[in-house]
Chain A
Amino acid sequence: MSSLSEFIIQSLAGGLRPLLAVGVSLAAAGGILLLGRRPNLRDALLLAAAAVKFALVASMVPDVLAGRVVETAPLLLTPTLALHLRADALGLAFAALSSALWVVTAVYSITYMRTLEYGHQTGYHAAFAVCLGATMGIAFAGNLLTFFVFYELLTVATYPLVVHRRTPEAVAAGRKYLVYTLGAGQVLLVAVLWTQHLAPGGGFTAGGFLGGAAGAVAGAPGDPAAGAAASLPALRVLFTLFVVGLGAKAAIMPLHGWLPTAMIAPTPVSALLHAVAVVKAGVFGILRVTGYVFGPEAVAGIDPGQVLAWVASLTMILASLRALAEDNLKRRLAYSTVGQLSYVVLGAALGAPAAFAGAVFHITAHALMKITLFFCAGAIYAATHKENVSEFDGLGRSMPVTVGAFGLGALGITGMPFIAGFVSKWTLGTGAAAAGRPGFIVPLLLSGVLSLGYLLPVVYRAYFGRAAGDGPDGDGRPEEGGLREAPAGLVVPLVLTALAAVALGLLPDLGLNLYELAATAARSVFGGGFGLAGGGP
Chain B
Amino acid sequence: MTSHLPALIVLTPLVAALVVPVLAILARVLVRPVAVLSLAASLAASLASLQRVLAEGPWSYHFGGWAPPWGIEYVIDPLSGGMAVLVSFFALLAAFYAPAYLGVLAQLREGALGSLFLLLVAGLLGVVVTGDVFNLFVFLEISSLAVYALVAAGGNRATVAAFRYMLIGTVGASFYLLGIGYLYAATGTLNMADLAARLPAALETRVAAVGLALIAAGLGVKVALFPLHGWLPDAYSTAPAPVVAFAAAVQTKVAAYAFFRIFYFVVGPGGPVEPLLRLVGLAAAAGIVAGSLLALAQRDFWRMLAYSSVAQLGYVVLGLSLGTRLGLYGALLHILNHALMKGCLFMVAGAVRWRTGRQDIAALTGMARKMPLSMGALFVAAVSMIGLPPTGGFFSKWYLVLGSLEAGAWGYVVVIIVSSLLSAAYFFRVIEQVYLRRAPAPESEAGRKPEEEAGREPEAKAGREQEAGREQEAGREQEPEAATAARRRPWELPWPMLVPILLLGAGVVVAGLSSGFIIREVIQFAVPVEPF
**Chain A residues near B (Cβ < 8 Å):** 75-78, 80-82, 116-120, 145, 148-150, 152-153, 155-156, 160, 163, 165-169, 171, 174-175, 178, 182-183, 185-187, 189-190, 193-194, 196-197, 385
Contact = CB atoms under 8 A, between A and B. Distances in A.
B369 to A, nearest CB: 11
Interface residues of B, number: 46
B468 interface: yes
A150 B420 CA distance: 18
Contact of B468 (A117, A168, A174, A385): A117
Contacts of A178: 424, 428
A168 B517 contact: no
Contact of B516 (A76, A148, A149, A197): A76
Given A81-B395, A189-B417, 10 more contacts: A116-B467, A117-B465, A148-B389, A153-B390, A155-B388, A165-B467, A168-B454, A175-B432, A178-B424, A182-B421
B421 A80 contact: no
Tell me which of B402, B436, B519, B524 has the highest count of chain A C-beta atoms within 10 A of its own C-beta: B436
A78 B516 contact: yes
Contacts, number: 104
A167 B463 contact: yes
A126 to B, nearest CB: 12
Contact of A190 (B417, B460, B468): B417
B470 A119 contact: yes
Tell me which of B390, B460, B463, B514 has the highest count of chain A C-beta atoms within 10 A of its own C-beta: B463
B457 interface: yes
Nearest to B523: A78
B390 A197 contact: no
Contacts of A81: 395, 398, 515-516, 519
Given A156-B388, A186-B421, A189-B401, A165 B326 contact: no
Nearest to B457: A167
Contacts of B383: 156
A187 B413 CA distance: 11
Contacts of A197: 402, 405-406
A331 B175 CA distance: 63
A328 to B, nearest CB: 13
Contacts of B470: 119, 166
A156 B383 CA distance: 9
Interface of B: 326, 383, 386, 388-390, 394-395, 397-399, 401-402, 405-406, 413, 417, 420-421, 424, 428, 432, 435-436, 438, 454-455, 457, 460-465, 467-468, 470-471, 513-517, 519-520, 524
Contacts of A77: 516
Contacts of A117: 464-465, 467-468
10 contacts: A76-B513, A81-B516, A116-B464, A152-B388, A155-B388, A165-B467, A166-B454, A171-B432, A178-B424, A189-B417
A80 B401 contact: no
Contacts of B438: 166
A78 B521 CA distance: 10
Dominant secondary structure of chain B at its interface with chain A? helix
A336 to B, nearest CB: 23
B351 to A, nearest CB: 21
A82 to B, nearest CB: 8
Contact of A76 (B421, B435, B517): B517
B457 A168 contact: yes
B516 A165 contact: no
A394 B163 CA distance: 77
B5 to A, nearest CB: 29
Nearest to A182: B424
Given A156-B383, A166-B454, A78 B520 contact: yes
A95 to B, nearest CB: 19
Contacts of B461: 385
Contact of A119 (B405, B420, B468, B524): B468
B389 A152 contact: yes
A160 B431 CA distance: 11
Contact of A78 (B386, B421, B519): B519
Contacts of A156: 383, 388
B389 A149 contact: yes
Contacts of A75: 516
A119 B438 CA distance: 13
A66 B202 CA distance: 68
A163 B428 CA distance: 12
A160 B438 CA distance: 15
Nearest to A117: B468
A118 B424 contact: no
A219 B437 CA distance: 59
B126 to A, nearest CB: 32
Contacts of A187: 417
Given A116-B464, A119-B471, A197-B402, A76 B515 contact: yes
Given A153-B389, A166-B438, A169-B460, A193 B401 contact: yes
